[in-house]
Structure 1
Amino acid sequence: ALRVAAVAPVINAVLDPLFIFTLELGLPGAAWATTLANGIGLAAGLWVVGRGRLALRPVPGMWAPRQALAAQILRVGVPGSLEHTVRTVATFSLLKILNGFGAVVVSAYTTTSVLIMALIFPGVALGQATASVVGQCLGAGRPERATRTGWLSAGLYAGFMVVLGVAFAGLAPHVVAVFDHNPAVVAEGTAQLRILAWCFPPLAVALVLGKAFGGAGTTLPAMASSAVAHVVYQLPLAWWLGERYGPTGAYWAMSSAFMLQGLLSTVLFVKLFGARVSRDPGGQQTVKGAPPRSETAGGRGH
């Protein structure tokens, strides 16, 4: 997966200067380079799958339309797409609110957003791994192991974010100054980063558990928690607190929105995975309606 994912960025990095400067195509050249790079990346992925060396192997008739399968894909994919749409709407709406406080606040927000995105990347990778393991455990009739996987991954990433939150809060002026040397931006970014550091652990929980939902084949809980926290809750509160306490109030609205998302994700995870787990008379954990563990794992429970 890493090799296939690296194809498009590497080719894009090679084609960009060639198309933009050597061929003198300018911005259209950058667009063509990106399009070609992603096309080659797609071809590389199809080639890897077509070799038949993975668990995912092409079989005759696999491209035939299947209404039930398409509906299942849409049930999983549409809420996931809407979640990204919700985040985009929330980000632009929040930026509009912060824009009323001036360029310094917007610059500070841009800086802290870059920092948070850098911290999210490890969580995305951990979340993807969690989704894979959760899906495998549920497929093997081991919902209790899927639940433990979700909690363990969320706990690991939350602990990591606690350490980084403390470090960023203490070193905030120096961290912000790496991206912007303007004293006013450094001061505003420091205040913002120290407030947002409080939300790092719940942000980690929300991110990892959101991926775990995907591994369980349901992306609606992650979309719902994101929409409630960042649109229904954050935007009105950011406007209201901003009107009364200035940008600091808006920062606390942002931070508390991630706290709410983490709480909602936790509640939904407990509800969803708790509903999947029942205890049989013998004391074994099974998926409701699934065959006994001996039938799903060769009678050994692994």
Structure 2
Amino acid sequence: MSTTRNAALQTDPFESLGLSSDQAALYTAMLRLHRATLTELAEAVDRPAEDVLDALDGLVRLGAVNRQREEFLARHPAATIGRLVAERLDRVARETRQIDEVLAAAGRLTHHYDAGRDWRSGRFSVEPLSGADELCESVIGLALQAPPAELVMAVPDRRTMARFADGYGGQWIQAAADGILRPRMVVALDAVSAPAMREVCARFSAAGAGLRALDTVPSWFFALGDGTAGLPAEWGVPLPEHSYNCYLVHAPVVVGALRALFEELWARAAPISPHNNAQQVLRLAAHGLSDDAIARHLGVSVRTVRARFAEAMSELGAQSRFHAGVEAARRGWL
């Protein structure tokens, strides 16, 4: 073992950094001579001048040797080794990033594999649910199996939001606060216009949930983790008055499609947040909402919205809404 260790210590450091044995020997001779012609170097290493010139060209490209007309000048070993080490570290960093990208791709490709397997085998597990209690318990039960479970959900109308908030919002808020659920919700504007609904949203936000509002949400649905989706019995139709009549679908391809739809809605939606009135109207306007849409979002009149814009402009010292938006972004309000 001692012999092996001593041999390792005697290994030429330049060879360890990728130089050939000819380049390492030539560079060592260059260090001793400091400055030499091609003929002098060939004599020093006892090699033909043509072979020495090939190795010298490699050392020049590596920055270990400088060429000055007919002479070659050795660079200081610290500078040479530093450059070689930096290049090796850059190469290792690139390879590490490539490995990370391959690992990420493996996860994405696995979803395609699972989807194809399910399609070929016909194994699309679908569970009909006929009540809100069963739905809520199913979501919490699945989340408890692998917390924190990422939940994305779309709520298209006020009645669905109100029923959910009154009967089950508290349980989901507690699950979010306890780290069991990690929810994000896109809600229709009219679903959060009432003060009671805005209070529920504030409680969700305080528990760590993400909430955004959109003028129109196409349908109710949710996706939990990578393997479970909730779908209405009929897409785009409000849930029935006395029964949820929905389905739990356990198929990665369905979950992936719903997640893609949710992310599109999420990108277009405006945040629901407890900022002060002046900041709030600016944040909503920055997401493209009109005065009328902002008024419906906040549950106030258009006149109140415009008064809040005036308040924001005064606070920011701005002469226009555009100027106010620029200044608000500079201050980190948006």
Shorter-chain TM range is: under 0.3
TM-score, structure 1 normalization = 0.25
Larger Rg, first or second structure (1 or 2)? 2
| TM-score for the superposition, normalised by structure 2 | 0.23
